[in-house]
C-alpha cells in the first residue's frame, strides 16, 4: 500500500513513524515532510497550502491513501479536492473541518447536538466586548477566556484574570478582521481524546493530556503544546465511554444529519470540571504533540484503521489495541517561542538524546546549505520516552530533552510530573506473548480500566 502523508511537523513524523511499523510496511511518502520524516518516507517538496500541487502529487504517485495532518489544508479544502480526483483520503471535507476552523460554528453544532461545552458569546463589534465578558463571567471572579474565532495554531486564546488584558486581546482579534468568542471559564484537568470516524462509526483512541502553556507550572502564554503523556492514571475508568457517548457520537451524528459527514480524527479537547465533562475545543485532525504519545502506545497497525475510516467501513474494523507502556513527550522549543521563535540555529546532541531508548520526533527542523540540522520553527522537536510507568517514561524523555543542544531552546520540566506521582505503578502485567518486549491490551486507557478490554467501536 502506498500512503502519502501531508504535513511536515511532529504530528506527521509520529504518524509516519507508526505507519512504518505496520506489517507489511506501506510505501511511505510525505509532502513536504521534514528531516526526521525523510529517514522513513520519500519527501516531496510540495507545500501544505499548494492544493493543486498536492493533488497532482497524490495522482502521480497513485497513492492508495492520503493522510492529511495539519488543519490549514483541511480547512482550505484539500480533502474535497483529493476526493474529487478519486483519491482515498483520511481527513474531513472543508465543511466538516469548520468544527476547527470556526469556533462559532463548532458551538452551533454542539448546541444542536446537545454536547456539553462552555457558555459563550460571539462578538464582532468591539463596543460589545465589555457586555460579552459580563454575560459569560457575570461575577468577574474567575479568569476571562477570549478566543480568536479562526485558526490560530493554539495561540489565539487568552485566559486571564485581568479584564483589561482580556478586552485588549478581543480588540486585537477584531482589528485583525475576525470575530471573537468569549467563553465561560472551565476549571479542571484537560484531556485530549482523538476519535476516528468514517462519518458514521466512532472509534476512540487512547486519551492523552497536553500542556498548553509555555512554562512550568502552567505559567506563560498558550502555545501549540509543550508536551504530552498517555495513559492518564488519574482519569475515571469510564471517561472514554462517556466522551464517546456524550460528545463524539452526537457530534458525528449531527454532522451526518446535516449532510457533512466527518471522516478523519475528531479531536475532542475536554475539561473535566466539577460539573462534568465539557468540550474546550474541537479539532479536525490529530493533535500535536499528543499524537507522539498516543501512536507510540498503539499496538495494532495504523494503516488498516485509517484506510477503513477513509472507505466508510470502520464499524467492521477490529478495535485498536494498546501497549500497556506509558509514553511521555517533551517538546524542545526555539528561543523566543511562542512570541517570536528564532530559527536557523544548529541542533546537535540527537544521538545522546536517544541513547537511553527515547526517540526524537522532528517538528521544526531543516537541513541548511552546509548540510547541518538547524531549527526551522517554534516547536523544534519532541523527545518521546517510554517505560513501564509514567515516571520512567518521563525520566527518559527529560534526559533526552536535556541532551539536545540548541542555543536558547527551552522545554518544560513538569510534563506528566503530577500524573506520575499520582500512580507510580499503573500498569497491568503483559497480556500478549506475541509482543514480548511491550505489553499490550485492548483496553484504552485509564489505569483503572486496564485489564478490562471491553472497549469496542461504537458504530
CB of 355 to ligand GLY, least distance (A): 28
> Which of ligand GLY, ligand AMP, none does residue 391 bind (CB under 5 to 8 Å by kind)?
none
> Which of ligand AMP, ligand GLY, none does residue 159 bind (CB under 5 to 8 Å by kind)?
ligand AMP
Binding to ligand AMP by residue 145, rule CB under 6 A? Answer: yes
Q: Which residues, in sequence order, are CB contacts of 448 under 8 Å at separation 6+?
A: 235, 236, 237
Half-sphere exposure of residue 445: CA atoms within 13 angstroms, side-chain side? 31
Instruction: Report in angstroms the alpha-carbon separations of 458 from 243, 265, 323.
Output: 12, 15, 21
Binding to ligand AMP by residue 414, rule CB under 6 A? Answer: no
119/142 Cα distance (integer angstroms) = 14
CB of 142 to ligand AMP, least distance (A): 9
213/192 Cα distance (integer angstroms) = 15
Binding to ligand AMP by residue 264, rule CB under 6 A? Answer: no
> Which of ligand AMP, ligand GLY, none does residue 183 bind (CB under 5 to 8 Å by kind)?
ligand AMP
Binding to ligand GLY by residue 325, rule CB under 6 A? Answer: no
> Which of ligand AMP, ligand GLY, none does residue 445 bind (CB under 5 to 8 Å by kind)?
none
Rg (CA), the chain: 21
- Residues 217-256 close enough to bind ligand AMP by CB under 6 A: 222
Q: Extract the C-alpha cell encoding 244.
A: 464517546
Report the chain's terminal Cα–Cα distance, integer Å. Answer: 26
Candidates 172-180, 182-190, 231-239, 442-450; binding stretch for ligand AMP (CB under 6 A): 182-190
Binding to ligand AMP by residue 190, rule CB under 6 A? Answer: yes
- Residues 156-175 close enough to bind ligand AMP by CB under 6 A: 157, 159
> Which of ligand AMP, ligand GLY, none does residue 225 bind (CB under 5 to 8 Å by kind)?
ligand GLY
Nearer to ligand GLY, 283 or 450 (CB): 283
Site size for ligand AMP (CB under 6 A): 16
Candidates 11-19, 185-193, 256-264, 369-377; binding stretch for ligand AMP (CB under 6 A): 185-193
> Which of ligand AMP, ligand GLY, none does residue 290 bind (CB under 5 to 8 Å by kind)?
ligand GLY
State the virtual CA torsion across 373, 22, 302, 318 in degrees, nearest 10: -170
Nearer to ligand AMP, 149 or 389 (CB): 149
- Residues 218-237 close enough to bind ligand GLY by CB under 6 A: 224-225
- Residues 167-226 close enough to bind ligand GLY by CB under 6 A: 210, 224-225
Candidates 252-260, 286-294, 354-362, 416-424; binding stretch for ligand GLY (CB under 6 A): 286-294
Among 197, 230, 251, 283, binds ligand GLY (CB under 6 A): 283
Site size for ligand GLY (CB under 6 A): 8
HEC-encoded secondary structure of the chain: CEEEEEECCHHHHHHHHHHHCCCCCCEEEEEECCCCHHHCCEECCCCCCCHHHHHHHHHHHCCCEEEECCHHHHHHCHHHHHHHCCCCEECCCCCCCHHHHCHHHHHHHHHHHCCCECCEEEECCHHHHHHHHHHHCCCCCCCEEEEECCCCCCCCEEEECCHHHHHHHHHHHHHCCCCEEEECCCCCCEEEEEEEEECCCEEECCCEEECCEEEHHHEEEECCCCEEEECCCCCCCCHHHHHHHHHHHHHHHHHHHCCCCCEEEEEEEEEEECCEEEEEEEECCCCCCHHHHHHHHECCCCHHHHHHHHCCCHHHCCCCCEECCEEEEEEEECCCCCCCCCCCCEEECHHHHCCCCCEEEECCEEECCCCCEEECCCEEEEEEEEECCHHHHHHHHHHHHHHCEECCCECCCCCCHHHHHHCCCCCCCCCCCCCCCCCEECCCCCHHHCCCCCCCCEC
Among 101, 269, 338, 364, binds ligand AMP (CB under 6 A): 269
CB of 41 to ligand GLY, least distance (A): 21
> Which of ligand GLY, ligand AMP, none does residue 78 bind (CB under 5 to 8 Å by kind)?
none
Nearer to ligand GLY, 11 or 81 (CB): 11
Q: 177: exposed, middle or buried (C-beta count within 10 Å: 0-12, 13-18, 19+)?
A: exposed
Binding to ligand AMP by residue 118, rule CB under 6 A? Answer: yes
Nearer to ligand GLY, 157 or 399 (CB): 157
Among 183, 184, 290, 325, binds ligand GLY (CB under 6 A): 290
Binding to ligand AMP by residue 43, rule CB under 6 A? Answer: no
> Which of ligand AMP, ligand GLY, none does residue 157 bind (CB under 5 to 8 Å by kind)?
ligand AMP
Among 287, 320, 364, 400, binds ligand GLY (CB under 6 A): 287
Q: Which residues bind ligand GLY (CB under 6 A)?
A: 154, 210, 224-225, 283, 287-288, 290
Q: Which residues bind ligand AMP (CB under 6 A)?
A: 118, 145, 147, 154, 157, 159, 183-186, 190, 212, 222, 269, 280-281
Amino acid at each position: 500500500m502506498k500512503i502519502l502523508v501531508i504535513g511536515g511537523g511532529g504530528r506527521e513524523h509520529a504518524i509516519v513513524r507508526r505507519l512504518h511499523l505496520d506489517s507489511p510496511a506501506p510505501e511511505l511518502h510525505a509532502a513536504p515532510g521534514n528531516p526526521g520524516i525523510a529517514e522513513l518516507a520519500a519527501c516531496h517538496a510540495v507545500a501544505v497550502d499548494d492544493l493543486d500541487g498536492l493533488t497532482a502529487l497524490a495522482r502521480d504517485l497513485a497513492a492508495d491513501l492520503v493522510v492529511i495532518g495539519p488543519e490549514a489544508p483541511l480547512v482550505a479544502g484539500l480533502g474535497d479536492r483529493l476526493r474529487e480526483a478519486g483519491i482515498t483520503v483520511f481527513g474531513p471535507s472543508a465543511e466538516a473541518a469548520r468544527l476547527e476552523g470556526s469556533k462559532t460554528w463548532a458551538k452551533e453544532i454542539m448546541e444542536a447536538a446537545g454536547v456539553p461545552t462552555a457558555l459563550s458569546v460571539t462578538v464582532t463589534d468591539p463596543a460589545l466586548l465589555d457586555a460579552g465578558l459580563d454575560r459569560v463571567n457575570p461575577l468577574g471572579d474567575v479568569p476571562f477566556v477570549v478566543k480568536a474565532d479562526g485558526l490560530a495554531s493554539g495561540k489565539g486564546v487568552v485566559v486571564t484574570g485581568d479584564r483589561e488584558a482580556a478586552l485588549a486581546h478581543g480588540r486585537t482579534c477584531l482589528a485583525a478582521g475576525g470575530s471573537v468568542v468569549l467563553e465561560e471559564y472551565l476549571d479542571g484537568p484537560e484531556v485530549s481524546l482523538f476519535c476516528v470516524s468514517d462519518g458514521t462509526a466512532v472509534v476512540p483512541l487512547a486519551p492523552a493530556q497536553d500542556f498548553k502553556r509555555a512554562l512550568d507550572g502552567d505559567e506563560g502564554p498558550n502555545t501549540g503544546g509543550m508536551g504530552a503523556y498517555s495513559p492518564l492514571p488519574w482519569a475515571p475508568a469510564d471517561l472514554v465511554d462517556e466522551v464517546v457517548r456524550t460528545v463524539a457520537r452526537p457530534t458525528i451524528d449531527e454532522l451526518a444529519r446535516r449532510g457533512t459527514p466527518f471522516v478523519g480524527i475528531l479531536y475532542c479537547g475536554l475539561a473535566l470540571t466539577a460539573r462534568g465533562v465539557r468540550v474546550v475545543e474541537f479539532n479536525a485532525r490529530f493533535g500535536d504533540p499528543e499524537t507522539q504519545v498516543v501512536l507510540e502506545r498503539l499496538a495494532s497497525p495504523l494503516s488498516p484503521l485509517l484506510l477503513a475510516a477513509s472507505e466508510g467501513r470502520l464499524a467492521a474494523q477490529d478495535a485498536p489495541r494498546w501497549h500497556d507502556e506509558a509514553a511521555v513527550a517533551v517538546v524542545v522549543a526555539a528561543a523566543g517561542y511562542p512570541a517570536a521563535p528564532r530559527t536557523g540555529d544548529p541542533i546537535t546532541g540527537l544521538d545522546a538524546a536517544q541513547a537511553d531508548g527515547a526517540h526524537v520526533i522532528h517538528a521544526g527542523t531543516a537541513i541548511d546549505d552546509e548540510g547541518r540540522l538547524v531549527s526551522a520553527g517554534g516547536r523544534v522537536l519532541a523527545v518521546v520516552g517510554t517505560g513501564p510507568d509514567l515516571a520512567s517514561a518521563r525520566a527518559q524523555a527529560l534526559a533526552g530533552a536535556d541532551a539536545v543542544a540548541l542555543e536558547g531552546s527551552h522545554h518544560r520540566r513538569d510534563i506528566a510530573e503530577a500524573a506520575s506521582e499520582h500512580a507510580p505503578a499503573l500498569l497491568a502485567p503483559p497480556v500478549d506473548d506475541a509482543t514480548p518486549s511491550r505489553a499490550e491490551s485492548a483496553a484504552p486507557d485509564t489505569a483503572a480500566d486496564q485489564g478490562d478490554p471491553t472497549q469496542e467501536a461504537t458504530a
